[in-house]
Amino acid sequence: MNYVILKNGIQMPQLGFGVFQIPDLKQCEASVNEALEVGYRLFDTATAYQNEEAIGNALKTSPIAREELFITTKLWISDAGYEKTKKAFFTSLKKLGLDYLDLYLIHQPFNDVYGSWRAMEELYKEGLIKAIGVCNFAPDRLVDLALYNEIAPMLNQIEAHPFHQQQEAQTVMQAYDIQMQSWGPFAEGKNDIFQNELLASIAKNHGKSIAQIVLRWLMQRNIVAIPKSIRKERMAENFAIFDFELTEQEMQDIVALDQKKSSFFDHRDPAMVKWLSNYKS
Residues marked active site are found at: 49
In contact, 182 and 222? CB cutoff 8 Å: no
DSSP label of 258: -
For the purposes of burial, counting CB atoms within 10 Å of the CB of 226, is it exposed (0-12), middle (13-18) or buried (19 or more)? buried
Instruction: Report whether 107 belongs to an annotated binding site.
Output: yes
Count the neighbouring beta carbons within 10 Å of the beta carbon of residue 39.
Answer: 15
Comparing C-alpha atoms, which of 149, 129, 157 is closest to residue 8?
129
Angle at which helices 113-125 and 139-147 pack, to 10 degrees?
50
Comparing C-alpha atoms, which of 187, 175, 209, 200 is closest to residue 250?
200
106 has which bridge partners? 75, 134
In contact, 76 and 66? CB cutoff 8 Å: no
Could you tell me which residues are annotated as the binding site for substrate?
A: 107
Could you tell me which residues are annotated as the binding site?
A: 107
